[in-house]
Amino acid sequence: MLSDIISLKEKTIMKRNRFTNTIYLSTLALMLVAVFLSWQRTETFELERATAAAHDKEVWLNQGERNPHSAAHFSRYAFKPIPSMSAFEPGAIDYSGLAIWMEAHRRNPATFRYAEGSGDLSNFISLTPAWIMQAILPLVIILLLFSSYAGEREDGTLRQLLSHGISLKSIFKGKVRAALSAVSRLLIPLAMIIVLITVFLKAGADQSDQLMRLFYLLGSYGLYFMFFVFMAIGVSARSKNRQSAAIALFTLWFFMIVVAPRFASDAATFSVPQPKGSIVDQSLSEARGAYSNDDAYQEQARQKILDEYGVKEISELPINYRGYALQISEEHADPLYEEVYNDLKGTYEKQENILGLLSFLSPTTSLKQLSAGIAGTDRIHHDVFAWEAELHRRYIIKKMNGDLMYNGTDTENPYTAGEELWSEVADYDGQLPLFSSLISYYISKFGVLGIWTLIAFLFARRSTLKIDDFESIR
C-alpha cells in the first residue's frame, strides 16, 4: 500500500535524524532522573511513615497508668497510606498532610505537609515523571512532527508525491502511522518504567487494583499524546513553512500546558474562595463546646440513661456516669464536625467542578485531575483517608469512655487503666481505596480527553485532506 511506503519513508528519516535521536535520549535520561528523585522521595515518605507509626504505637503502649479519658486525649496518630503511584504522580500529597491526630473532643485536619519543610530543594524535587509526561513530552512530539507537512511543502517534496498520483489520504495515513510509531518508541520504555514503579515495587498492594489503575493511567496519557500528535500534523498541514508551523505549535503548547491550566485553577479559586482558617477553627471550636452549652440535650441524655436502668438518681446507676456523659458529648459533636468538614469538602468539590467545566480550554486540565486521581494522590483519596481516620478516632474514644463507664468509680481514688487496655486498641491500618469504588469521579474526565483527541483527529484529517495540490503548496 502507498500509505505503508509513506510510513516507512517517514520512519527512516526520523531514525537517521541525529536531532530526533538526541531528543529520544535526552527525554529518557530526564525521565530516569525524575523517576529516581520521585522514587527516593516516596521511599523516604514510606520509611518515615513506618518509623513514625512504630514510635506512635510504642509511646501509646508505654504511657503508663492513667484515666482512660486522659488516654483518649493522649491518643494516637493515623498515618496516610502512601500509594506506589505517588512515585509517578505525587499530586496533592505534598500539601494535603500525611497524618491525623485522633484525640478526644477534636476532629483534627491532616498535618505534616512535606511542602512546608522541603526547603530550597522543593523546586527541583517537583521534577516528576508525571510533569515530564504532561509538559515535556507534548513539546517533544511537536519537535518531532512540526515539519511533517510544512517541511515537505517547503522542500517541494509534497508536490512531487502528489504529482506521482499518491493520494492525500495515503499520505495522511502514512504520516500518522509513522508519527505514532515515533512516539511509541519513546512511550514504550516510559510505560515499562511506570509499570515497574507502580506494580512490582510495592509489596502488599492489591495487584488487581494496581493493574486497573495502570490501565486507566496509560489510556489517559495515550489519548493525551495522540491529541498532540494529531494537532501537530494538522497545524503542519496548514502551515506554509517550518517556521510558521513551529511558532503556531509552540504557541499552542504554551497555551495548553501553561496558560489554560493556570487560568482554570485561578478562576476556580476566585469563583469559590476557600474559607479562612480562622473561620473553620471557630466552627470547630463551636462544635466542641456544643454539648456543654446545650442544657436541654444534657438533661435528655441524663433521663435516657436513668430510664434505661430503671433508676431515679445518677448515684443509683451501676455504671460510671462520667464515662457515659463523655461519650454522649462526643456523639453530640460528631455530626457538627461532619457539617464543618462537609462544607469545606463542598467548597473543594465546587472548585473541581469549575475546573471540569474549564477543561474545554485544554486537555491538560482534565489530565492533571485524572492523573492524580488514578495515582491515588488527589483530594478525593485524601478525603477517604480523613474519614477513615475519623471513624478510627471515634472507635478509640468510645473504647476509652466505655472502659471508664463500666469499670470506673466515683470514689476518692481515681480509676486508672494500663497497658492491658492500651493493647486492646487496634492500630489504624488504612489502605488505598479500590479504584473501582471511585471510578465514577473520573470517568467524565476520561471522556473529555477522548473528545479532545477526536477533535484533534478530525482537525488533522480535514487539514490534510483539503490540501490543494497546486494552490496550497505554492
Span 421-432, average pLDDT: 90
- Is the pLDDT score of 59 beyond 60? yes
Mean pLDDT of the chain: 83
The pLDDT assigned to 169 comes to 81
- Is the pLDDT score of 94 beyond 80? no
| DSSP structure class, residue 107 | -
Answer yes or no: are the C-beta atoms of 187 and 225 closer than 8 Å.
yes
What's the chain's Rg over C-alpha atoms?
A: 30
Span 374-403, average pLDDT: 93
The pLDDT assigned to 120 comes to 38
CA–CA dist 72, 422 (Å, integer): 10
- Phi first, then psi, for residue 338 (nearest 5°) are -60, -40
CA–CA dist 413, 80 (Å, integer): 40
Burial class of residue 421 (count of CB atoms within 10 Å of its CB; 0-12, 13-18, 19+) = middle
Give the lowest-confidence range in 4-18, 169-183, 239-253, 314-328.
Answer: 4-18
Confidence bin at 231 (pLDDT 50/70/90): very high
Confidence bin at 451 (pLDDT 50/70/90): very high
150-192 residue pLDDT tens: 887 887 777 777 777 777 787 788 888 888 887 777 777 777 7
- Phi first, then psi, for residue 192 (nearest 5°) are -65, -40
Strand partners, 66: 417
The pLDDT assigned to 114 comes to 53
The pLDDT assigned to 138 comes to 92
**More confident: 163 or 336:** 336
Span 374-384, average pLDDT: 91
- Listed in sequence order, the DSSP H helices in 358-413 are 363-375, 379-407
- Phi first, then psi, for residue 442 (nearest 5°) are -115, -15
CA–CA dist 392, 374 (Å, integer): 25
Listed in order, strand segments (DSSP E) in 327-393 are none
The pLDDT assigned to 118 comes to 42
- Is the pLDDT score of 21 beyond 70? yes
The pLDDT assigned to 123 comes to 39
The pLDDT assigned to 163 comes to 72
CA–CA dist 317, 124 (Å, integer): 64
The pLDDT assigned to 7 comes to 55
The pLDDT assigned to 68 comes to 92
CA–CA dist 241, 150 (Å, integer): 5
Confidence bin at 374 (pLDDT 50/70/90): very high
345-354 residue pLDDT tens: 888 889 888 9
Confidence bin at 30 (pLDDT 50/70/90): confident
107-142 residue pLDDT tens: 888 876 554 444 333 333 468 888 988 999 999 899
Q: Percent of the chain having pLDDT more than 70? A: 87
The pLDDT assigned to 106 comes to 87
**More confident: 173 or 54:** 54
**More confident: 285 or 368:** 368
